[in-house]
Chains A and B, each alone.
Chain A
Amino acid sequence: MKVAVPATGGSMNAQVSEAFGRCAYFIIVDTNTMKFEPVSNPGVGMMGGAGPAAARAIAERGAEVVLTGAVGPNAKQTLNSLGIKVYTGYNNMTVKEAVEKFLQENK
């Protein structure tokens, strides 16, 4: 399964970003292999509609799940329509820790 995590940097050790639509990077993690791909967030500098643009970027890379601190209303609606599940409350941890926590809790 592919999991997308908004992050402040481009690696597994980066912090999970507090924002979804305005994060710097998404780390797309394949939970079977734990291989990851960093993706620049096209929404970061946008005037408006950052959430949907960000949702599109991760959907195009096959993400099925998002782990994030919080998510805005427009992003949430788009992610729901795309069939991507959103898990919030992943604050104050690295991307790696977030994915491990998720796998632990969703065995």
Chain B
Amino acid sequence: MKKDIKIAVASGKGGTGKTLVATNLAYLLSKNKKYQLFDCDVEAPDSIIFFSSTQKILEKNANIMIPEINPDKCTYCGLCADYCEFNAIVIVSQIKKAIVSEDLCHGCGLCSYICPVNAITEKEKPIGKITQFRINNLVIKEGRLNISESTPSPVIRSLKKEIEPDNPAIYDAPPGTSCSVIHTIHDVDFVILVAEASPFGFYDMKLSIEVFKKLNKKFGVIINKSGEYTDKIKEYLKQENIKIFTEIPYDKEIAHLYSEGKLIVKELPHYKEKFMELITEIERMLQ
């Protein structure tokens, strides 16, 4: 495996076991070398729970740039409002009003770029926090969207700027297939897709696979909470010629340890073996 590999752990459905896989994998991989674990699930970051006695090494705001419209320069032409994908700007030329809805702004900067009279400047607005923790060889980098904010992607973008490019990294992705997932996985070398053995899990897994294919990502699947629905998923993946790594059973002991914020590879030796095998399989696949 190349020394600076970047691996994302993603899912379609929420609650399939992304964080379970990401944290246990990061723990094992960081035993002998420096590793980074990015918690990109900024609406509900929880990777840090699984690591005790960590040391906080950095905390800062994640900002977006939002527009300010200078009424002395604005001609109320409405170009900025027309181009804003999110309706964050309202221009009413009849009554000479230019209004910015800060909560709707994604901070893309198109409005200030497009304004023909340079009436728009940008100011920083904090919408989240970036925190870094260290434990032994592992640095956990967490993004956390502020309560009431609705745009996770800029926080993920800020978080990913904290990368040490020469060191390998695991990215714990948000659930789903929307912008926040794309921002997390677009530049990684490999994606581990954690699928849940249920009809809902199967359906969302297929959506994720579509996204990975569009992005030309190398990926493989872990089937978690394996049970009676596993065969259907396997059949589909074999048909599609998609790599199946391993199955994690629907195991009460895992749920118990997880609820206590413990890592299963530390507590249960047979799961450590499973995860070691997973690492070997990924290595083999990337050769």
Binding site for B on A (CB under 8 A): 43, 46, 48-50, 52-53, 55-56, 59-60, 62, 73-74, 77-78, 81-83
Contacts and interface: CB of A to CB of B under 8 A. Distances in A.
A81 B97 contact: yes
Given A49-B104, A59-B92, A81 B99 contact: yes
A43 B101 CA distance: 15
Contact of B87 (A48, A81, A82): A48
B94 interface: yes
Among B90, B101, B103, chain A packs the most CB atoms within 10 A around the CB of B90
Interface string B88-111: 101111110101010110000000
Given A81-B99, A82-B99, A55 B90 contact: yes
* Contact-size category for B: 10 to 19
B86 interface: yes
A52 B94 CA distance: 16
A78 B91 CA distance: 10
B97 A52 contact: no
25 contacts: A43-B87, A48-B86, A48-B87, A48-B104, A49-B87, A49-B101, A49-B104, A52-B99, A53-B90, A55-B90, A56-B91, A56-B92, A59-B90, A59-B94, A59-B97, A60-B92, A60-B93, A73-B103, A74-B103, A77-B101, A78-B90, A78-B99, A78-B101, A81-B97, A82-B95
Contacts of B94: 59-60, 62
B181 interface: no
A103 to B, nearest CB: 24
Interface of B: 81, 84, 86-88, 90-95, 97, 99, 101, 103-104
Among A43, A46, A48, chain B packs the most CB atoms within 10 A around the CB of A48
Given A49-B86, A50-B87, A56 B81 contact: yes
A59 B84 CA distance: 19
Nearest to A62: B94
A1 B101 CA distance: 27
